[in-house]
Structure 1
Amino acid sequence: MIWGKKRYTFVIIPDANSSVRRFEVPKLIPYIAGAGLLSLVIVTLTLYVLHARTAMVASDLQTRVKSQDTLYATTVQEKNQTIEQLQNEVINLSRQTSDMKTQIDDIRKLEDEVRTITGSDKTTAAVNSASSGLAMGGTNRPATDDEVQDMLEQTRTLLTDMNEEVDKLKHSIVNTKEAALAVQKKQRVTPTIWPVDSRTITSGFGLRQDPFTFRPSFHSGFDISAPLNSKVHVTADGVVQSTGSDSLHGNNIVVSHSDGLQTWYMHLNKINVDKGEKVEKGQVIGLVGSTGRSTGNHLHYEVLKNGVSIDPKPFLK
């Protein structure tokens, strides 16, 4: 209490000619002012430190936000690129699916042609027109999600239909192959080719005037004019039933085929096969001559069904 009543006297001397001024203040005031100043300094330093830390945190957050923004922009860009790439792949898949469908239709069309050749029943094949040109144009508008989804649905449906088509096509091709092999086998054993290169028929099948007696007679085959030693080809796969020579037929060969068919080659100059030998369609079995009852170089070609001579014309293509 006594210490609090004490006072400090502050003397202010402006200059030598001015009067002196005195101020008395309680002794406690300077301590209070010092304490307040010290508190103000501490508060200022504290606020400065807090501001500095806040600035650092804000700077760090700003850096993080920029980094996240950059990462987000990069992610969005990569996602957009991925989506665009997937859309292009969907478009390419749809185009490839359409091309494959066209190829399947082409295979069906080819199968129909094979069936026509083999004489089988013809199926109906719908052929889609595919765009094979490279010229393109139009406005540049990004594809929407709905459009891509529609294309996916169409492609999915088309692929499902194609799977069914492929399954049917497999069975159909197997049947066509079997039919083609059967036709091929039948063609091999059916005398459908010409026995010589010449197509000059000097005497046909049926009634004619005999070249020696000039009387009406029945001619059981085709006389095909050809130069001496022209190659004679067997007209179907078979087995040589007989070879021989006599005054009527000259050097001759009989070949047996399937279904009771036989072919007979007469007036040969030379025989190149032996009895019992297997021969293949188109194989050279002899040479054209004029042996036996003949007026000149030619081949007498005869087709027999169950031992009876028939007209060779329907067989020759």
Structure 2
Amino acid sequence: MAQRKRKPKWSLLLIRDAERRVKQFKVSGRTVVFLPVAAAVAVASSFAFLQLKSVGRIHALEDRLGSSALKHRNELAVKTAEIRSLEQEIRDLDGQNELFRSRMDEISELEAKLRQFIGNHADGTSDESRNVAEVAATAYSAAMGTASVAVSDASSSDIVSIAAMESNIADFSELSRMLDDMAISMAEGLRKAELKRAEIESLPSEWPTVSRRLTSGFGYRSDPFTGRSAFHAGVDITGEMGDPVYAAGDGQVKEAGFNRTRGNYIIITHRDGLESWYMHLKVIEVKPNQRVSRGDLIAEMGNSGRSTGPHLHFQVVANEEPVNPLPYLRKVKED
């Protein structure tokens, strides 16, 4: 019987030290081949495990990044909406600011008119001028009172007053409302003052001639032609032939013509049923229905009609009844 051929074995020598024995290990060829393969498989398995672990971490990081990106996108959308809202508010504020400036310009213009109106009438010596000035001043004070409430607790000497006003006004709409009230108040005050001025100017209270000498007053007197007592419906103002005659107040020429008694005469109608009459004129400078203003030249003094010399017969008629004109005239001086 033939002997089986023995497979070759590998010997491994382990030398630990020069003085120690050498250890010998015998391994088969299969083992020599298997060990490197097993080591390679182990290393490959380790790499595969590490790779799988890395992939898991990468997926986790990707999920976190995706969630963070979504959160940031949402926050960005919210911030964008807030920015757009702020931009719209800024545009609205710009529009309100322009409106505010326009209202302030209107208030300044009204204030200037009222100041000019007050200045034009405050220096007048008559009660009428003072009344007009008081009306305008009252309107101005009432209008400015609305604004003074906003700064009543602040000092007017520095910027604190501005800060106080800003702190007391909630927003532009409140300020706009306040300016509207001021504008309405000022406009109404100016309208009332102008109406009062027009009413005053329409009174026949301006002295109608250059001369101030009265030769005959209002009431009963001795008639220069008959010598009998007769009612004199006006006042006679002496002067020189051709002296200017002025309208005593704003009004409209009702009549302008000639009468045997009145001579050349003019009748001007004023407000509230008042009329002023001018008689014995030399020349008439106006026509019927013509509008005249206080102080306008309307005629020249003369001696026409039932007259004894150059003079102006001036009278005031109220509701078709003659009244004493002296209370209407300014700076009356009788000689």
TM-score (norm 1): 0.52
1:222 maps onto 2:235 in alignment = yes
1:144-183 alignment runs, 5 A limit: 155=170
Change (3 A) 1:242 1:76: closer
Structure-1 separation of matches of 2:7 and 2:238 = 164
**CA 1:42–1:264: 2 relative to 1, 3 Å:** same
C-alpha contact (below 8 Å) 1:9/1:22 kept by paired residues: no
Q: Is the 8 A contact 1:238 1:258 kept in 2?
A: no
1:237 aligns with 2:237: no
Provide the residue aligned with 2:214 in structure 1. Answer: 202
In structure 2, the partner of 1:127 is 146
Alpha-carbon offset, residue 311 of structure 1: 0.9
The Cα of 1:287 is off from its aligned counterpart by: 1.8
Change over 3 Å in CA distance of 1:77–1:260 after alignment to 2: closer
Residue 19 of structure 2 is aligned to residue 8 of structure 1: no
Change (3 A) 1:197 1:84: farther
CA 1:69/1:221 → structure 2, altered by over 3 Å: closer, same or farther? same
Contiguous gaps of at least 5 residues in structure 2: 1-5, 115-130, 137-141, 161-166, 331-335
Please give the secondary structure, in 1, of the residue aligned with 2:292.
coil
Structure 1 residue 313: deviation in Å? Answer: 3.1
1:286 to 2:288 alignment: no
- Paired with 1:291 and 1:226, the residues of 2 have a C-alpha distance of 14
Cα distance 1:316–1:30, how it changes in 2: closer, same or farther (>3 A)? farther
Are the aligned partners of 2:221 and 2:232 in contact in 1 as well (CA < 8 Å)? no
SS at match of 2:42: helix
TM-score relative to the length of structure 2:
0.50
- 1:86-135 CA deviation, whole Å, 9 max, x = no partner? 69x99x98xx7xx99xx7xx99xx9xx99x859xxxxx886341459795
Contact 2:222 2:229 in 1 (8 A): yes
Structure 1 position 244, deviation (Å): 1.1
Residue ranges of structure 1 left out of the alignment (5+ in a row): 119-123, 138-150
Counterpart for residue 140 of structure 1: none
Distance 1:21 1:253 in 2: 160
* Superposed displacement of residue 46, structure 1: 1.7
Structure-2 separation of matches of 1:136 and 1:73 = 40
Output the CA distance in 1 between the equivalents of 2:11 and 2:229: 176
Secondary structure of 1:251 counterpart: strand
State the partner residue of 2:124. none
Partner residue in 2 for 1:311 = 324
Q: How far 1:197 moved relative to its partner?
A: 5.9
CA positional deviation for 1:194: 2.0
2: CA distance between counterparts of 1:25 and 1:9?
5
Query: What does residue 269 of structure 1 align with?
Result: 282
Contact preservation (8 Å) 1:202, 1:224: yes
